[in-house]
């Protein structure tokens, strides 16, 4: 009869190192996907907020009042489920809502920071 051979400590350690290596590679690649998801959520939220608030202005509300009370107008519009949640970007930071030239402009500081290096690279390539 043959005896069953057990795994040696060295074999177990090699398997653990390989699992850790694969896990770290997957984690690193997932981070980029998460950032892309946050950028996408932020861009869509900006568009939704701007469009919804401009609709409220078109209904007759003062643009200054709409900018100052954006959450109230978003709730009352019926187009947004959770106004407090939609007023935060993908990183959980509040949007900056301003009036510029009779338009409502919504910006995210984090999104602007992420896009700034890309803008400087594109400008240098042109």
- Model pLDDT for residues 49-73, shown as the tens digit of each residue: 999 999 999 999 899 999 999 999 9
Confidence of residue 33 (pLDDT cuts 50, 70, 90): confident
Which has more confidence, 86 or 116? 86
pLDDT at 25: 87
The answer to whether residue 29 is domain-embedded is no
pLDDT at 81: 84
The answer to whether residue 28 is domain-embedded is no
The answer to whether residue 1 is domain-embedded is no
Total number of domains constituting the chain:
1
The answer to whether residue 16 is domain-embedded is no
| Residue pair 85/45 in contact by the 8 Å Cβ criterion | no
Q: pLDDT by residue (tens digit) across 73-99?
A: 999 888 888 888 899 998 999 999 999
- If 0-12 CB within 10 Å is exposed, 13-18 middle and 19+ buried, where does residue 86 land? buried
The answer to whether residue 22 is domain-embedded is no
Average pLDDT for the chain: 86
The answer to whether residue 46 is domain-embedded is yes
> Around Cβ 109, how many Cβ atoms within 10 Å?
13
Q: How far is CA 5 from CA 1, 2, 37, in A?
A: 12, 9, 48
Structural domain span for residue 57:
34-125
């Amino acid at each position: 009869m043959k005896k069953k051979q057990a795994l040696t400590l060295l074999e177990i350690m090699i398997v653990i190192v390989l699992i850790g290596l694969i896990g770290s590679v997957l984690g690193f690649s997932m981070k980029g996907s998460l950032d892309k998801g946050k950028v996408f959520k932020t861009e869509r939220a900006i568009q939704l907020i701007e469009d919804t608030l401009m609709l409220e202005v078109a209904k007759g509300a003062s643009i200054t009042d709409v900018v100052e009370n954006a959450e109230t107008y978003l709730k009352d519009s019926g187009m947004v489920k959770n106004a407090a949640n939609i007023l935060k970007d993908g990183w959980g930071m509040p949007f900056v809502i301003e009036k510029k030239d009779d338009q409502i402009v919504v910006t995210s500081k984090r999104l602007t920071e992420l896009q700034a290096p890309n803008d400087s690279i594109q400008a240098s390539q042109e």
